[in-house]
Structure 1
Amino acid sequence: MNNEKKKAMLALKTARGQIEAIISMIEEGRYCVDVSNQIIATQALLKKANLLILKQHMYHCVKEAFENNKGNEKIDEIIDILSKITGK
């Protein structure tokens, strides 16, 4: 497992812990703004993990595809992902 994937795993495990904490906060009837702030923090971790995974993909899978004259397929994949991220 490369460095980007290790960092992504750490971010995802932290997000998992935050999600468990958010569920507990809701069950305990905690203040809505506090719950919302925790959700926003978790979303930031998920975005960070996604960026790390995409970075790893670009440096390894996409680079290898271009070396094997199959880069256009990977470009299409990245464009598809970017359209999902941007909502366009």
Structure 2
Amino acid sequence: MNQEKIKALQSLKTSKGQVEGIIKMIEEGRYCLDVSNQIIAAQSLLKKANLLILKQHLSHCVKDAVLSDNGEEKIDEIIGLLSKIMDK
């Protein structure tokens, strides 16, 4: 497993713990803004993990496909994904 995937996995595991904590906070009736701040922190970790995965994909899968003259499909996939991200 390369460094990007290792870092992404760590971010995902950390965000999983945060989500579990957020659920507990809601069940305990904690202050709404405290809950919201924790949700924002979890979202940030998910975005970080996604960026690391995309970096890995571009650096390896897309690069290899372009070098072997099969990159058009991979580039189209990236464009499709970016359109989803930009719509949000």
Q: Quickly name the TM-score band, shorter chain normalised.
A: over 0.9
The alpha-carbon deviation at position 38 of structure 1 amounts to 0.3
- Alpha-carbon separation, structure 2, partners of 1:21 and 1:15: 10
Which consecutive segments of 4 or more residues in structure 1 shift more than 2 A? Answer: none
Identical positions, percent:
70
The CA RMSD measured in Å over matched residues stands at 0.9
For residues 32-82 of structure 1, give each alpha carbon's deviation from its aligned partner in whole angstroms, at most 9, with x where no partner exists.
Answer: 000000000000000000000000000000011011111111110111111
TM-score, normalization by structure 1: 0.97
- Alpha-carbon separation, structure 2, partners of 1:75 and 1:66: 9
Provide structure 1 residue ranges, at least 5 long, that are not aligned to the other structure.
none
TM-score, normalization by structure 2: 0.97
